[in-house]
Amino acid sequence: MSVAVLAQTPCSADVKVMGQGDLDAIKHCKKFTGNVMIDDVHVPQLELSGVEEISGDLVIQGSTDLKAFSAPQLKTVKGELKVTNHTILEKVDLPALMEAKGLTLAILPALEKIQFPSGLTKIDDMRIEDTRAPGIDGFHPESMNSFTLTNNNYMKHFDFSSVKELKGSLYVIANGHALEFQATNLASLQNGTFRNLAHLDVPALSRIGSDISFHQNEFTSLNMDNLELIGGTLTIANNDKLTDTSFKNLAKIGGALSIGNNTQLKTIDGFPKLGEVDGTIDMAGSFESYKLPVLQDVRGGMRLQTSSSQFPCSEIEKKMKGDNVVKGTVWSCASSLQESQMTPTIGQNAGIPDKIGGSSRSGQSTGNTPNLSNAGPVLDSWLALMIGLTFISLSL
C-alpha cells in the first residue's frame, strides 16, 4: 500500500514510492533507516526533502515520464544510490551529497550535468554510463574500490586527481574520443582498462596488482615512468596513433607482455629496467627494432611478428633462446609479414571484432609458430597453460 495514505511514515521502514506524497510522508526523517525504491513512477518530477541520511539504498529506476529528481538535504546514503533507465531524465540534483557506498548513474541519455556541489568525498564504487554529461564536478574521494566510466559520448574531461588508491578496477571505456582522463595522484590500482582516450595522465602510478590494457586510444605517447610492478598482463593494442611508450622503472610483469597492431609504433623500447616477465611475450606490428636491454627471465614462450624486413629475428633468437632467457617451449619470430598473415596477440581483440585472420607465415622466420588465430578463450587458455607448465617445471 502507498505510504501517502498516512500523515507520516515511521523513519524505519522500506518505502515503495508511487508519487510525491510518499516522499512527503518521510520528509520529517532527518535519518531514514531502510530502503527507498522509486520504480516506474508516472510523474515529471520528484523531490526527497528533509532527509539527510538513508541507511539503506535509494533506487530510482525505469520511470519513463520522470524529467527531474532532487534531494536537497541528502548528505549520506549508506547503501547504494542508483539512478538508472530514464530516457528523458534531464536533472539529478544532489547538492548536499558527500557520501555513498555505491553510486550508479546509468542509461540516462538526456542527463547533461553531473554535479556534487558539496563535494563527493567518500564513495566505494561508482559507475557512470550512457549520459550526455561533458564532465563531472565535485568528485573528490581519495580512496575507492572501483570506478567505471563508459559510453558517455559527450564526455570531454574527467578529473580523477583526488583518488590516490583504487583497490579494485578502473575502467574508462568507449566514451567521447576527445576525452582527457587525469589521475595525477593515483598510486595504485588492482586492474584497469583504457579505451578510446585522447589523453591519459597517470604520473604517480607505481603498482598494478593484476592486468592493465590500452586499446584503440588516440594518444601518441604512453608514459608510465613511475610504474614499477604489474602483477598481471600488460596489453597495448590497436592504438593507431601511438609512436612512443615509456615505462622507465618497470622491473617485473607478473603475466604476459602483449603489444599488437599499433601501426605507428616502429620501435619496441621504453622498458630499460624490465628484467622479468612471468608469462608470455607476444608482439605483432610494423616495428623495426627491439630493445629490452636487461630482460633475463621470460617464464613463458615468446612470439614476434612484424611487417618490417629489417627486424633481426636470428639475432634475437640467439639472445632469447641461446642464453636461456625464454624458459617456455613456444618460440617464433617472423618478419616481412602482411597484416593478413599476422595472428592477433594476446588480448588484442578483447571486446572488438576480429579484423585479423589467417595463420600462414612467410618471410624470415625462426622456430615453430603456434596457431593462436582463434582469439579470446583459446588465447587465454594457451597463456594459462604456458604459465602453469612453466611454474610446475620451475618448482620441480
pLDDT at position 389 over 70: no
Least confident of 246-255, 332-341, 344-353: 344-353
DSSP SS3 for 75: coil
How confident is residue 303, by pLDDT bands cut at 50, 70 and 90? very high
H-helix segments, 240-359: 313-320
DSSP SS3 for 293: coil
Q: Are strands 122-131 and 257-260 parallel, antiparallel or unpaired?
A: unpaired
Average pLDDT of span 128-141: 97
Write down the mean pLDDT value for the chain.
88
How confident is residue 349, by pLDDT bands cut at 50, 70 and 90? confident
Nearest in space to 233 (alpha carbons), one of 155, 350, 393:
350
pLDDT at position 78 over 90: yes
CA distance 160 to 86: 26
pLDDT at position 380 over 60: no
Average pLDDT of span 302-314: 94
Question: Residue 7: what pLDDT?
Answer: 55
Average pLDDT of span 167-181: 96
pLDDT at position 356 over 60: no
Cell numbers found for residue 60: 530510482
Would you say 341 and 312 are in contact if contact means Cβ atoms under 8 Å apart?
no
Would you say 106 and 129 are in contact if contact means Cβ atoms under 8 Å apart?
yes
CA distance 246 to 219: 13
Question: What value, to the nearest 5°, has the Cα angle with vertex 319 and ends 316 and 325?
Answer: 115
How do residues 217-242 score in pLDDT, each as one tens digit? Answer: 999 999 999 999 999 999 999 999 99
End-to-end Cα, the chain, rounded Å:
68
pTM for this predicted structure: 0.86
CB 54: neighbour CB atoms within 10 A?
Answer: 26
Average pLDDT of span 89-95: 98
- HSE of 131 in the Cβ direction (CA atoms, 13 Å)? 25
DSSP SS3 for 340: helix
pLDDT at position 364 over 80: no
How do residues 261-277 score in pLDDT, each as one tens digit? Answer: 999 999 999 999 999 99
Q: Are strands 365-368 and 331-334 parallel, antiparallel or unpaired?
A: antiparallel
Question: Residue 382: what pLDDT?
Answer: 39
CA distance 44 to 69: 9
How confident is residue 9, by pLDDT bands cut at 50, 70 and 90? confident
CA distance 298 to 228: 17
DSSP 160: -
- In the block, residue with C-alpha cell 564526455: 155
Rounded to a whole number, what is the largest CA-CA distance in the chain?
Answer: 85
More confident residue, 150 or 351: 150
How do residues 180-189 score in pLDDT, each as one tens digit? Answer: 999 999 999 9
Report the percent of the chain where pLDDT is more than 90.
83
Q: What does R_g of the chain's alpha carbons equal in angstroms?
A: 25
Nearest in space to 253 (alpha carbons), one of 307, 210, 204, 314:
210
Question: Residue 29: what pLDDT?
Answer: 97
170 Cβ contact list (under 8 Å, min separation 6) = 146, 147, 183, 189, 191, 192, 193
Average pLDDT of span 193-206: 97
How confident is residue 350, by pLDDT bands cut at 50, 70 and 90? confident
Among left, alpha and beta (phi > 0; psi -120 to 50; other), residue 4 is: alpha
